A and B are shown apart, each in its own frame.
Chain A
């Protein structure tokens, strides 16, 4: 027993020493970049998608070779799991700060990105979120917070105008999943729809782990809406559409980018037909580097869920800032980030003073014959 313990601690010590002495290649500096997204839990498929997008970019940059301050640099991605949970997100953020990562790509959800952003600000680490769209994220005024996707203000406004305009909705029921993203989008949508003269007949709530929506849908049915808006993600949106049909609630269904993905179609099945949803940015096919990106991504990781191109661009924007600063030092990279003018896969990326992208487009899609079809792009 004792001998076992001693030899165990000896081998741990040996490992630790080996770890200290490890040098990857002579002269090459390793720069670690964190990538945080939910890798377990209901949104794990989206999280893995983001991480793969970031990984593709890192591998391509490494393959091309990155030289900063005269030394060859190898980027290393540290993938972390925040479980889409705000509390876990802060723990992961603290861990990444302690590990001394030079930048963070993430998080995926607005609800995790916002609390984590404080930790990155305190540690002066640049943070670029590929997919957090809540207004509150950049409204905090942190100089470390950036995102490469249009925010919910733009998206909610477009959705609200579309619902009342082209879809002709007069009585609208709004459901959100109580996450920073779902709630923020639903609030912005409600504001825009009200302004356009529609009546909000019900405002109901669920959560991002729920599968049963029949009670709230039944309650909504009693108020006879002609449109149901959902601020949330596909694991809830898909079953919700099915349950609407089952209850005989014949209203149209509208959502944001959280449901505008392939998985939603699978989960909603035949009931997905006619569902409308928006997504920030251009459709992948219309993106400047879209078709090429799809080919490179899918040959390695399989089908793109939704945000992978944004995660890819976030890493490229970061690498470009490092090249301009000629250093991976976070302080210098932070000074270089505002001058970003990057031709990415998703479009031309520039930042405003808050860290939001300028000129983000929003595209509306509808399910026709079991596939998302582009309706129109609003600039």
Chain B
């Protein structure tokens, strides 16, 4: 029982990080129908910038409490990532907005490779350790261990997701975003500044990516120029699983993928009597993804999109 609860906790923490990154994919897709493959790399840059800032703050004022130092790092990383996301859209995607859909997709993959290599040149090839600044308190629930950091990650993710959901549903900007998502041309005719809306989408998505990046590196205790790739892929799968373009779907998909992965890796060996080992954990996660897509091609919460007029 305690093992099962522990696996659930593992999955929830992982899933809330996936969900946060998946929101970035899903928002951009919802509005531009573009899969922004560079999003995982924005997450990585967020982690790297935060770590660099944390290093500087620690050097200048080592007597500050750990939480404040990390917060300082996050506050530097968010604007840095927002600037990056904004520039990517402005320089790489906007000129291609009327191009065939494949062109921006390939550009996105290109940007992702460029960002990886730039990060490698700037921060080196080594894994960078995240200093142990955050509270490491450990609690027991039903025999399973959960740390302060894990609780914090889940709560913060849920709060951010609710905030985003509220923004999209209840604010003027949100209404403009939904209008743009439905039809860019008509929204424009109604007086919505589509370029501003798209830039805002990239700014919000990149800010979320920065937070997710810091969370991942704090949780695993390391950052690396390659870390955005797999994270991006998993988060993208989460977005597809939940129904790409759908914000609640991205959250659901993220949590689901995290839990399926944890349970899969934890039990697959025992369930198959050692025939399939825990190295099939990704297979397990993607198998669930395929299964869902076979029966619900537009994802769990995705609407069936009728052909556009």
B residues 89-143 touching A (CB-CB < 8 Å): 120, 124-127, 129, 132, 138
Q: Return chain B residues, CB-CB under 8 Å to A205.
A: 277-279
Which of B79-87, B180-188, B220-228 interfaces with chain A? B220-228
Which of B2-10, B21-29, B189-197, B293-301 interfaces with chain A? B2-10
Nearest-CB residue, chain A, relative to B281: A215
Residue B55, interface by CB 8 Å: no
Q: Return chain A residues, CB-CB under 8 Å to B262.
A: 214-215, 218
Residue B303, interface by CB 8 Å: no
- Provide the bound-state CA to CA distance between A267 and B221, in Å: 7
Q: Return chain B residues, CB-CB under 8 Å to A203.
A: 269, 274, 277
Q: Return chain A residues, CB-CB under 8 Å to B266.
A: 215-216, 218-219
Q: Return chain A residues, CB-CB under 8 Å to B227.
A: 211
Q: Return chain A residues, CB-CB under 8 Å to B226.
A: 41-42, 209
Nearest-CB residue, chain A, relative to B277: A205
Which of A14-22, A126-134, A242-250, A314-322 interfaces with chain B? A242-250
- Provide the bound-state CA to CA distance between A216 and B145, in Å: 15
- Provide the bound-state CA to CA distance between A70 and B267, in Å: 67
Residue A147, interface by CB 8 Å: no
Q: Return chain A residues, CB-CB under 8 Å to B171.
A: none
- Provide the bound-state CA to CA distance between A214 and B258, in Å: 12
Interface pair B230/A209, CB less than 8 Å apart: yes
Interface pair B127/A42, CB less than 8 Å apart: yes
Candidates B10, B221, B222, B277; contact of A218 at CB < 8 Å: B10
Given A211-B222, A215-B278, A219-B265: A246 in contact with B10 (beta carbons within 8 A) = no
Nearest-CB residue, chain A, relative to B120: A40
Candidates B14, B132, B265; contact of A270 at CB < 8 Å: B132
Given A218-B6, A246-B145, A266-B129: A42 in contact with B265 (beta carbons within 8 A) = no
- Interface bits B204-238 vs A (CB < 8 Å: 1, else 0): 00000000000000001110101100100000000
Q: Return chain A residues, CB-CB under 8 Å to B230.
A: 209
Chain A nearest Cβ from B1, distance in angstroms: 10
Chain B nearest Cβ from A15, distance in angstroms: 25
Residue A27, interface by CB 8 Å: no
Interface pair B220/A215, CB less than 8 Å apart: no
Chain B nearest Cβ from A78, distance in angstroms: 19
Q: Return chain A residues, CB-CB under 8 Å to B126.
A: 44-45, 263
Chain A nearest Cβ from B124, distance in angstroms: 8
Residue A106, interface by CB 8 Å: no
Interface pair B145/A204, CB less than 8 Å apart: no
Residue A207, interface by CB 8 Å: yes
Nearest-CB residue, chain A, relative to B13: A214
Interface pair A267/B127, CB less than 8 Å apart: yes
Candidate in A211, A248, A270 with the most chain B CB atoms within 10 angstroms? A211
Given A235-B224, A267-B129, A269-B132: A216 in contact with B3 (beta carbons within 8 A) = no
- Provide the bound-state CA to CA distance between A234 and B224, in Å: 13
Residue B41, interface by CB 8 Å: no
Given A178-B279, A209-B230: A239 in contact with B220 (beta carbons within 8 A) = yes
Nearest-CB residue, chain B, relative to A265: B129
Chain B nearest Cβ from A154, distance in angstroms: 26
Chain B nearest Cβ from A260, distance in angstroms: 16
Interface pair B278/A219, CB less than 8 Å apart: yes
Candidate in B6, B222, B265, B281 with the most chain A CB atoms within 10 angstroms? B265
Q: Return chain B residues, CB-CB under 8 Å to A234.
A: 127
Residue A222, interface by CB 8 Å: yes
Q: Return chain B residues, CB-CB under 8 Å to A238.
A: 127, 129, 221-222
Nearest-CB residue, chain A, relative to B11: A215
Chain B nearest Cβ from A164, distance in angstroms: 22
Interface pair B261/A215, CB less than 8 Å apart: yes
- Provide the bound-state CA to CA distance between A207 and B263, in Å: 17
- Which 9 interchain pairs have the tightest Cβ spacing? A44-B125, A205-B279, A215-B265, A222-B3, A214-B10, A219-B266, A215-B266, A215-B262, A248-B145
Other A-B pairs beyond A215-B278, A235-B224, A242-B221, 13, CB < 8 Å: A41-B125, A45-B126, A48-B125, A202-B269, A203-B274, A215-B7, A215-B262, A215-B264, A221-B6, A238-B222, A239-B222, A246-B147, A270-B132
Residues of A within 8 A of B (CB): 39-42, 44-45, 47-48, 178, 202-207, 209, 211-212, 214-216, 218-219, 221-222, 234-235, 238-239, 242-243, 246-248, 263, 266-267, 269-270
